[in-house]
Amino acid sequence: MASVSINYVELPATNIEATKKFFSDAFNWNFVDYGPDYAAIQGAGLDGGFYRSELKATTANGSALVVLYSTELEQAQQQVEQAGGTVIKPIFEFPGGRRFHFTCPSGNEYAIWSE
């Protein structure tokens, strides 16, 4: 059987420039532009990219949830808010840790968790 693993994640972005600025400001991520409609993510732990689209990735729409990890959950939430993200589920406990959900300027939903 061939070995297969998750290698790359592509996400929609209604506003690529605002989305890049948000993730750069909040988490110090970097980007490589491939034309006006695509930006590759660098320095995020898993490679990926944003493509221009009017669609939004949210759990309410049945999308997979991209979950980030932080050793400092409250600080991560503060960084999200200061960079212009919107917390849609404040910090809550779940079996194995705590997390919160937020949206970026393009309206995509993400979560950040910690032990």
pLDDT one digit per residue (tens) for the chain, 115 residues: 999 999 999 999 999 999 999 999 999 999 999 999 999 999 999 999 999 999 999 999 999 999 999 999 999 999 999 999 999 999 999 999 999 999 999 999 999 999 9
Number of domains present in the structure of the chain: 1
- Is 59 part of any domain? yes
- Is 70 part of any domain? yes
Tokens representing residue 1 in the block: 């059987």
- Is 3 part of any domain? no
- Is 40 part of any domain? yes
**What's the predicted TM-score (pTM) here?**
0.94
- Is 35 part of any domain? yes
| All residues at 6 or more sequence positions from 35 whose CB lies less than 8 Å from its CB, including other chains | none
- Is 2 part of any domain? no
CATH at 100: 3.10.180.10
Cβ-contact 9, 66 below 8 angstroms = yes
Handedness of CA 89, 91, 92, 96 (dihedral sign): positive
- Is 36 part of any domain? yes
- For 54, the domain range is 8-114
- Is 42 part of any domain? yes
